[in-house]
Amino acid sequence: MGRIYFPQFKKGKEGIPLKKGKTILAHARELGIAISSECGGGGKCGKCTVRIEKGKQYLSSLTKIEKDFGLSKDLRLACQARVLDSKGNILVYIKTFGEYSILTETREKDIPLIPLVERKGNKVYYDGKEVDVYRGGIYGLAIDLGTTTVVFSLVDLERGTTLSTSAFKNPQVAYGNDVISRIEYTMVDKEKIRYVDESEKGRRVKELQSKVIEAVNEELEKIIEPSLVYEVVVVGNSTMRNLFFGIDISSLGLIPYEPLKKESFTMPAISLGLKVNPNARAYAPPLIGGHTGADALADILVINMHKSDRVCMIIDIGTNGEVALGNREKIFTASCAAGGAYEGTTIKCGVGAIEGAIANVIINDGRIEFSTIGNKPPRGICGSGLIDLLAEMLNKGVMSRKAKINAPFRITDGIEVYQEDIYQLITAKAGLRTDQDLLMKYYGVNLEDLETIYLAGAFGNYINAENAVEIGLLPPAPEKVVKIGNGALEGAREMLISKEKRKEAEFLAGMITHVKPNELERDFEFIVAQNMYFK
């Protein structure tokens, strides 16, 4: 029997046996290799392009979908190319493969060290119960499970310090680049065009869960003896947190779009498949509501919004955008499906924050000047570059206030921005800006009343705030913008090293009011449409 190989990846070098009738994407999923598939394998996005180095004769012919994308003879869409003959070997290279520049920096706060795991003499105790003999170290994992990326910190629970931070692409992107696609995967069999039964739904949830768990295990083994890890804290949006713990997420795709399990809980880490100490526990902080999850809660905890006399706002810009506004008296939150535009996934020449991604753009006397991540040859344009580009096109008159361009805008050879890309970008920014404006309306404050506008997450950390204001992504007060780095990861660390912070987070979740502007505003779609264009 033949095998399929993905030599760019360590786990793909040995390959796996070919399965007749299965797509290249299905084989990659089985290996846990992340091929970007914004549409979840429906042949609509064209992002799962691969190059067949060897064995193309064992695959099905180009489909109409692939022909419409204008693929050359050696390129295929992983979701369309099926194995017809399993006797030979197939060698596959992924076109969008590259090193991701993932934000790992946090603003670590000095807080009292009160962990649940501690050493007494030569014994290790969890919450007062003996769990192990002391073997030279007591460590914990703080995990920020994002839709696109995963970041975790290895923390010394005897000192509270971060020893190492690892970051990698979320392997679930092979099932879709947003939470909606992953929710849909657990509910719908696209090939047979039907809803799956409960047994199949459970299997698919387990499949998505296992991909992340395996990736965490693989990274962890590179940096520490896993049996010295005694506790894990995981934050993420509602879909991501519940998937990590193997919880059904289908309710998040159905009215009223609420998670089945919002409350905090703790369970044996080994039951999740984590290769850590057999007595280690995994803690899931509470979700706020809807698609606003434990990551947003962690952000709020880190900036001490619930202790502030002045009103402030925090914005986490990503595939799932989240906004929180408030002070010690009350806090409102909202979320929106920002989509993959600023991750580069719905843009024709868009890429994630990989080496070679155009990250900064200036139009100077009609000339395009740009820089790329890693100073590598340009391979596409990522989110921060797209914001710069929109602002520059607007200011230089290349794009109208109605977001119209006369022709595709060329950045460099093979990299252009099209009118449909502009539409994706302004749609993404409009939803997030609408949430900001409506939260201020519901709270009864104006922009002048806000003390600070915090930006959290990788995207918020790297964007040019003035350009983000120029295109209407942020309120017109760049002087109030403060970037806090990966707030979700820092919040997870604080809950890991302090049981008091954990209690504080659980109390905080109870005082937050999650609002759904699309249900409260009769003219919501009109408001979003107004925010699409430039004032």
Omega before residue 256 within 30° of 0, cis: yes
Looking at the domain assignment, is residue 220 inside a domain? yes
Looking at the domain assignment, is residue 437 inside a domain? no
Res. 105: pLDDT tops 60:
no
Q: Are residues 241 and 149 in the same domain?
A: yes
Q: Are residues 126 and 213 in the same domain?
A: yes
Report residue 95's pLDDT band, with 50, 70 and 90 as the boundaries.
Answer: low
* Mean pLDDT confidence for 230-242: 97
Per-residue three-class SS string for 213-254: HHHHHHHHCCCCCHHHEEEEEEEECHHHHHHHCCCCCHHHHC
Report residue 96's pLDDT band, with 50, 70 and 90 as the boundaries.
Answer: low
- Average pLDDT, rounded, for the chain: 90
Say what percent of the chain tops pLDDT 90: 66
pLDDT for 30: 87
Q: Are residues 70 and 172 in the same domain?
A: no
- How many Å separate Cα 353 from the centre of its chain? 12
Q: Are residues 89 and 203 in the same domain?
A: no
Looking at the domain assignment, is residue 498 inside a domain? no
CA distance 533 to 535: 7
pLDDT for 508: 96
pLDDT for 446: 96
Angle at 274 between CA 289 and CA 204, to 5 degrees: 60
CA distance 523 to 115: 48
pLDDT for 73: 67
Q: Are residues 73 and 134 in the same domain?
A: no
CB 241 within 8 A of CB 284: yes
Strands (DSSP E) contained in 418-493 are 453-456, 481-483
Q: What is the pTM of this model?
A: 0.84
Summarize pLDDT for 45-93 with one digit per residue, the tens: 777 888 888 898 989 988 888 888 777 667 888 999 999 988 889 998 8
Report residue 527's pLDDT band, with 50, 70 and 90 as the boundaries.
Answer: very high
Q: What's 265's domain CATH number?
A: 3.30.420.480
Res. 458: pLDDT tops 80:
no
pLDDT for 139: 97
Structure tokens given for 421: 């890309």
User: Domain end: 376, 397, 417, which one?
Assistant: 417
Instruction: Report DSSP state, residue 94.
Output: E
Biggest alpha carbon–alpha carbon distance for the chain? 73
Domain count, the chain: 3
Q: What's 55's domain CATH number?
A: 3.10.20.30
Strands (DSSP E) contained in 218-352 are 229-236, 265-268, 281-284, 312-316, 321-326, 331-336
Summarize pLDDT for 149-193 with one digit per residue, the tens: 899 999 999 999 999 888 888 999 888 878 999 999 999 988 788
Omega before residue 517 within 30° of 0, cis: no
Res. 450: pLDDT tops 90:
yes
CB 447 within 8 A of CB 479: no
CA distance 201 to 180: 15
Res. 393: pLDDT tops 90:
yes
- Type of residue numbered 422: I
* Mean pLDDT confidence for 469-490: 93
User: Domain end: 372, 400, 417, which one?
Assistant: 417
Looking at the domain assignment, is residue 517 inside a domain? no
Structure tokens given for 439: 């939260």
Q: Are residues 8 and 142 in the same domain?
A: no
Q: Are residues 282 and 373 in the same domain?
A: no
CA distance 87 to 212: 31
Q: Are residues 153 and 258 in the same domain?
A: yes
- The torsion angles phi and psi of 113, rounded to 5 degrees, stand at -85, 105
Q: Are residues 188 and 89 in the same domain?
A: no
Res. 103: pLDDT tops 70:
no
Looking at the domain assignment, is residue 174 inside a domain? yes
Structure tokens given for 444: 């009864």
Looking at the domain assignment, is residue 23 inside a domain? yes
Looking at the domain assignment, is residue 452 inside a domain? no
* Higher pLDDT among residues 499 and 374, named by residue: 499
User: Domain end: 371, 400, 417, which one?
Assistant: 417
Q: Are residues 124 and 52 in the same domain?
A: no
* Mean pLDDT confidence for 467-492: 94
Looking at the domain assignment, is residue 158 inside a domain? yes
Range of the domain at 166: 117-297
Q: Are residues 88 and 122 in the same domain?
A: no
pLDDT for 419: 94
pLDDT for 14: 85
Q: Are residues 175 and 278 in the same domain?
A: yes
CB 375 within 8 A of CB 446: no
